Amino acid sequence: MSTISALHTTNHVKHAPHGASHGPANYLTAGYGWKSWLFTVDHKRIGLLYLVSVTAFFMIGMAAAGLIRYNLIDPKGMLPADLYNKVFTAHGIVMVFLFLVPVVPGVLGNFLIPIMIGAKDLAFPKLNLLSWYLYMAGAACACWALLSGGVDTGWTLYPPYSSRSHTNVAPVAVGIFIAGFSSILTGLNIIVTVHQMRCPGMTWFRMPLFVWAMYATSLIMLLATPVLAVTVTLLAVERLAQIGIFDPKLGGDPLLFQHMFWFYSHPAVYIMILPGMGVISEVITCFSRKNIFGYTAVAWSSVGIAVVGFLVWGHHMFVAGEGYYLAMVFSLLSMFVAVPSAIKVFNWTATLYRGSITFQAPMLYALGFIALFTVGGVTGLFLATLGTDRHLHDTYFVIAHFHFTMVGGMVMAYFAGIHFWWPKITGKMYSDFWSRIAAILMCVGFFMTFIPQFIAGYMGLPRRYNTYPPEFQVLNVLSSAGSTVLGFAYLFPFTYLIHSIFYGKKAGDNPWGATGLEWQTTSPPPTFNFNYEPVVTEMPYEYSLATAPKPTFSYSSNGEAVKEEEHTHVH
Amino acid sequence: MSTDSSGVLAHHFNNMEQQQSTARLGMWMFLVTEALFFGGIFVAYTAYRIWYPEAFLAGSAKLNVLIGGINSLLLLTSSLTITLAIHAAHEGKQDALKRWLLATILLAVAFLGFKAREYYLDYEEHLIPGALFSKPISEGEHTKPSPAQDCEKDNVSAEHVQLFFMFYYCMTGLHVLHMLVGIGLISWLYLLAQRGYFKPPERYVYVEVTSLYWHFVDMMWFFLMALLYCAGPHTMAQMHL
């Protein structure tokens, strides 16, 4: 580390090709105007293109979620039944395919992976830009279909209903196909980058755990997404030709669609959670100022989740006519996924143990992740158990379970990551006070929204109906109230992060005193990431060494950011 | 750092070897994805073939193996010509490179020509799932029985045979789509070759990675040949162009 810092301080001052009056050039000042963004091949700028677009789709998905919760305030439903069907389908499709899958790989993965491994860019910069355009094209197609008439099948598009529904199923299938292709190309790019572009000294077992998690995610993207692509293609052909491949009228088998769909979509939930787990490993170590407990175990558990995740898809069809013995095998294999997931949770907890913990916003989000993801993971075991699944299948219990992993897990982790790397991405620091308030509010709103759904599901309330028996009204109103709090909490970061771009204090190169190559370059980084040739000589989380970087940033008592020139002690 | 002045080495690579192996690995990864893409449809095909073996064999028996065989030969030869193109690019022989790329394109276009002819013959035989499948075929004055009637005679389910044809069209259709992409890529290489892009011989690697894709498309055809064409019994009467 000391070698790198020395090189860094001597070299970065000299390098100022443009804008000498504004200090050293960075990737943000390297070009101006819309062309410099829409035709960029810089992975950092493409990451920001993703940031803007996933934020937009998150808001669309949130609006749909708001309508769902609005409808369920009253037992008779506030919206017409068919509109309700379209709204929850739109919520699922937008959130899964346009937000959760691309969010961390697209934004943080794009921005960070090359920097974290000491490369100048991803292996295929133009392909990276193409991925974004494909994503936008798929998203435009899907959003057009969802907004102009909508789709009423649910995001899973199960035939035979989806082959007969008079709604826009085919355009949505095309949109998912194109967005899937984008995700394949992103995964391919990341895998090749990790194999080929690591800087001298960056061995596989010196890579940050975020890179390991993204590598495992990319394997799933590469191996699972094409199966979804061919499945939705067959579905689209079936609809256009009006001849069933999955339609039982012609001898087709709807269960085969479910097998093929979940062969992608179950591994895809790990596409949606693994990157988040990678973020948490980075944040937990930094804010407990400790080396990660069991680096190798955490690294391999990412790969373990990716591998075992491919073998559990059948647990979605326990009550759909799957054979008993097959169901038993899938039940057992589903339990196995808990092992690598638990390895991660235990190792994070062990990392916290006796750490010098500070509760800045990224850490609050990360701790929220651990709590919520653990609940989500443990309730997953209830559903993987054949007997309990008979009772809980297709109830609000399932909804609450996967929202705990996807929203409580991935969205919290994404916010942890955005808050952690925001100073690196923009060079600016956001309000400490408001960011902590937002993190706490998000947890409170989240619990209020989804704990009642666990109870309602346990009591047998089935999902996807726009009406419900009146005795469930208290739980539903509680949940809707919680979703309002959650919705407001999401608006906070949107506001103070944008505010920080214009009015935030300069963050400095390494405000958190974090290890990792990304913290040794300037904030924001130069176009080719480093003004020197990075060389790695040690493991990624050496916080205990005397040479480890110290936080350079602290806050005054009223939450305003203050840059401390000489900051020697750790809170 | 790059000391290369001809612009062969992209800005984010340290040396030529890294750039070339990155291109190769990228294409192999893409082929992994492609294998899963075709794999998905092969699994669906296999499931139905296990459930309805007689119907799938009856459907396969109606396909034109003569055209299928000719197309196999054409594709196999095109794999040879593109390999010769890599060799020419590696040796820096621009004329030979262009010649072999052109030969590959011509073989691929010939394949598509035969394939189009085959689709047309299938259409004439009413081998299209849907209403046409149960419509008798009129040839001048007299009519031939429809494929559905044939199925009834052979005591197999006409619905299940149509399912076979759904797979036939989806699988060959996806293959044709991949062929068109391949022809596009090779034509692009040809245009680049004409503009002297491959004069620095290090750039042969782009011909090589395109050839990987081309071999893959070629290989998929042999899977289709085995699964679709060779599954059922055939008679000489079907062997016409």
Q: What is the CATH number of the domain that holds A387?
A: 1.20.210.10
Average pLDDT of the residues in B121-129: 92
Contact at CB, A253 and B47, closer than 8 angstroms: yes
pLDDT tens-digit map of A46-99: 999 999 999 999 999 999 999 999 999 999 999 999 999 999 999 999 999 999
The neighbouring-strand residues paired with A554 are A562
| Residue A425 included in any domain | yes
| Residue A33 included in any domain | no
| Residue B195 included in any domain | yes
Chain A to chain B, count of Cβ pairs less than 8 Å apart?
106
| Residue A420 included in any domain | yes
Chain A interface disruption, residue of B17, B29, B34, most A CBs within 10 A:
B29
| Residue B81 included in any domain | yes
CB A493 within 8 A of CB A418: yes
Total tally of structural domains belonging to chain B: 1
| Residue B241 included in any domain | no
Contact at CB, A226 and B37, closer than 8 angstroms: yes
User: Residue A164 — pLDDT band, cuts 50, 70, 90?
Assistant: confident
Chain A interface disruption, residue of B2, B12, B157, most A CBs within 10 A:
B12
Chain A interface disruption, residue of B14, B133, B165, B166, most A CBs within 10 A:
B166
**Structural domain harbouring A376:** 41-563
pTM of the model: 0.92
ipTM: 0.92
Contact at CB, A222 and B29, closer than 8 angstroms: yes
**Structural domain harbouring B155:** 16-234
Q: Which residues 6+ apart lie within 8 Å of A103 measured at CB?
A: A50, A54, A58, A275, A410, A414
In CATH, what number is assigned to the domain containing residue B226? Answer: 1.20.120.80
Say whether residue A183 is in contact with chain B using an 8 A CB cutoff.
Answer: no
| Residue A267 included in any domain | yes
Instruction: List residues in chain B touching A: CB distance below 8 A.
Output: 1, 11-12, 18, 21-22, 25-26, 29-30, 32-34, 36-41, 43-44, 47-48, 51-52, 129-130, 157, 159-160, 162-163, 166-167, 170, 174
DSSP per residue over chain B, as a string?
-----SS-S-TT-SSHHHHHHHHHHHHHHHHHHHHHHHHHHHHHHHHHHHH-HHHHHHHHHTS-HHHHHHHHHHHHHHHHHHHHHHHHHHHT-HHHHHHHHHHHHHHHHHHHHHHHHHHHHHHHTT-STTGGGGSPEEETTEEEPPHHHHHHHHT--HHHHHHHHHHHHHHHHHHHHHHHHHHHHHHHHHHHHHTTTT-SGGGHHHHHHHHHHHHHHHHHHHHHIIIIISSS---GGG---
| Residue B73 included in any domain | yes
| Residue A22 included in any domain | no
Say whether residue A326 is in contact with chain B using an 8 A CB cutoff.
Answer: no
| Residue A284 included in any domain | yes
pLDDT tens-digit map of A404-428: 999 999 999 999 999 999 999 999 9
User: Residue A567 — pLDDT band, cuts 50, 70, 90?
Assistant: very low
| Residue A23 included in any domain | no
Contact at CB, A230 and B166, closer than 8 angstroms: no
Contact at CB, B26 and A192, closer than 8 angstroms: yes
Total tally of structural domains belonging to chain A: 1
Burial (Cβ within 10 Å: 0-12, 13-18, ≥19) of residue A503: exposed
| Residue B4 included in any domain | no
Task: Return the top range by mean pLDDT from A22-26, A249-253, A436-440.
Answer: A436-440
| Residue B7 included in any domain | no
**pLDDT of A211:** 98
| Residue A406 included in any domain | yes
Distance from CA of A13 to the nearest CA of B (A): 20
pLDDT tens-digit map of B1-52: 344 446 789 989 999 999 999 999 999 999 999 999 999 999 999 999 999 9
CA-wise closest residue to A421 among A302, A555, A516 = A516
| Residue B114 included in any domain | yes
